[in-house]
Every structure is written in C-alpha cells, then in structure tokens.
Structure 1
C-alpha cells in the first residue's frame, strides 16, 4: 500500500495515467475501483461538474475520487468516509469544455492514505 504523494509531477502523472489505460469520454462517465465487485464507484456529470463518490462494500475502507484539472493541479481528492451504501457529492466549478481526468480508489480516511493497488483505470471527461 502506497501513499499518493503530491510531490509527483502532475503533468507526468496525468500523461502516464492516460497512457496506462485511461479512456476519453465526451459526457457523463463513471469508474470503479480495481478488482471484482466495484467496492468504490465515482461518477462524473458534465453538466454542473458534479462528482459522486459511492462506497459499495462493507470492507472497512473509504471510497475516494482522485482528479486532475487542466490548470495542472491535482490530484484533488473527494472522500466518502461514511461507509457501505453511502454517496458523497462534490459540486465543482470549472470552465465549460475543459477536461477533468479522474479515477476511483479506496483509502484510509483517518491518515488520508490512498491505497494505490485498489485504483481503477483513469478516464478523461469534459465539462
């Protein structure tokens, strides 16, 4: 289990994520954590730039969305520490037509540790 560190170069990280299985979408999209069962799900609605982070397993981990913006910032995190069967909504604001790259992961909310081996594939969507 590795802690995601902000010291990683964002532009290199986003490029590597896109080359390592990321896809491009043109509207609303979703991603699950890796492995079977989709323990954590992240959806993105282009209209309103809304992320929903759902915890779908009683495994003791929190669901978390990691996302990057075109201004070079990220990863930003949206945590759902509320347990199995819950969803947290994050209503963002960024320019119409701009992109966002994201992925779904599990983590430990207390120390804010992202469990990298649980992260699903990245996807890039537009607002």
Structure 2
C-alpha cells in the first residue's frame, strides 16, 4: 500500500470515528421512578443541557431529578411540586462534552425529603 493511500485510509477512519463519537454526545435520555406506572419521569436533552421533570401520578408526592456533575458535586435537585400532569424545565449550563449522571425520584417538597425507595436507575449522558 502506498504512503498516500495509507494516509487517505487512516484519515477516513479517523473521520468516521469522530463522527460516531459526535453522535453519542448528542444523545437524549430519560428515566422513570421505580415501580410500576412511572409516577415521576426525568428527561435530559443533551443540546442545551436541559432537564424536564414530569409528575405523572396523583399520589401526593412531588417528582424530583437528582443529578451529579463531573466536578464531583451533587446530588443537585430539580423539583416539580406542581402536581399530576405538570412538568418543570431546568436549563443548565455546563461544558460541552462533559457528562451528567441522574435519576428520577419522588419526594416531599415541603421538607425537601427524597424518597430513596422510589428512585429509578441512574443513567449517565453526555452534554
């Protein structure tokens, strides 16, 4: 294989890898609280770093997102205390390409108590 052809092949492979990596960074994700019915749901939109917290049950609890950042801080909380059928948006600012780990839970907004037994699985996404 000539040096020029090898260079073109390597450049093409690197470009493909970079494009595949870029697709991962723009992925959006969501999580529900544990148990049946998804009483609380949290979505994360990578572009713009936007969380939405949905209260999807008339159970007297608030939906809450817990999230952690790469600097080690967290859990930070985004509460939706507006009742069944509502959502709250949190438009965050953090570095493009950094990760965020989060989960959906229910809680008591008045006392700011998160009901750990209701928390769904964690997920990590890329901004």
Shared fold (TM-score greater than 0.5)? yes
Q: 2:78 — aligned with what? A: 78
| CA distance in 1: counterparts of 2:97 and 2:27, whole angstroms | 10
> Over aligned residue pairs, what C-alpha RMSD do you find?
1.4
The runs of at least 4 consecutive aligned structure 1 residues that moved more than 4 Å come to none
Q: Is the 8 A contact 1:62 1:82 kept in 2?
A: yes
Q: 2:10 — aligned with what? A: none
TM-score (norm 1): 0.80
* Structure 1 residue 80 displacement after superposition: 0.1
Identify the structure with the greater helix proportion: 2
Q: 1:39 — aligned with what? A: 39
How many residue pairs get aligned? The number is 104
Q: 2:20 — aligned with what? A: none
Q: Is the 8 A contact 1:40 1:53 kept in 2?
A: yes
* CA radius of gyration, larger in: 2
Cα-to-partner distance string for 1:58-106 (whole Å, 9 max, x where unaligned): 0000000000000010000000000000000000000000000000000
Gaps of at least 5 residues in structure 2 are 1-23
